[in-house]
Amino acid sequence: MNDKSKSVSVSKSSEAGNAVRQNSPAVHQLRNEIDRLFDNFGLFDWGGPFTRSRRSRLSGREGSWNYVPAVDIVETGKAFKLTAELPGMDADDIDIKLSNGSIIIRGEKEDKSETRDENFFFSERQYGSFRRTFSLPEGIDRDKIEAKFAKGVLTVTLPKLPEAIKADKNITVKAD
């Protein structure tokens, strides 16, 4: 198997969530609009684990990327895995930072084509930047966080500290 994934660097500064699957384009669009309204007013920095907080406003230029990447966060026995869809981007376009108990994912998609002598008949391609911030739960091993990018999907693995990994325990139900 040919592995064409690229590593993405994770920068660190100081310090389980509710996952929601949103398959409906209408729900996704509504969420983006509501998020943008809150961002514009600078209100509410949701503080729960893996919740969104304020993001930078998108540029107002025509053709800017009006995009909030779809993200899944899954908890396994030993780690949390965050995956984000980032189509049309390269690993070099993505920046990940740990800061104040949060993980911040930023990216920028730039128009790199030369079109001086071309007249567009139709173009739906968009360019711009995004920023997503999620509060981290306690018990993450910050020194072992890894990020990989392959086929337009970013995967960030956030391993749990050994003391945060707890074995399942069966509880016996007694009848009276």
Q: Name the CATH architecture for the domain at 6-164.
A: Sandwich (2.60)
Is beta strand 153-159 parallel, antiparallel or unpaired with respect to 146-150? antiparallel
Identify the residue with better confidence: 121 or 61: 121
Whether 78 contacts 160, CB under 8 Å: yes
Give the pLDDT confidence score for residue 6 in this predicted structure.
Answer: 67
Structural domain boundaries of the chain?
6-164
Instruction: Calculate mean pLDDT across residues 17-31.
Output: 60
- pLDDT value at position 171? 93
Altogether, the residues listed in the chain come to a count of 176
- Provide CB contacts within 8 A for 82, sequence distance 6+: 71, 72, 73, 103, 134, 154, 155, 156, 158
Tell me how far CA of residue 20 lies from CA of 23, 30, 83, 101, 145, in angstroms: 10, 14, 13, 21, 23
Structure tokens at 8: 């993405």
Dist. CA 92–CA 149, nearest whole Å:
10
Indicate whether 74 pLDDT > 90.
yes
* Sheet with strand 94-99: strands edge to edge: 10-12, 94-99, 102-109, 128-135
Cα dihedral sign for 133, 139, 142, 146? Answer: negative
Q: Which amino acid is at 100?
A: N
For 102-158, what is each residue's pLDDT tens digit? 999 999 987 766 666 677 666 666 778 889 999 998 899 999 999 999 999 999 999
Measure Cα distances from 165 to 55, 79, 126, 138, 169 in Å: 31, 9, 42, 11, 13
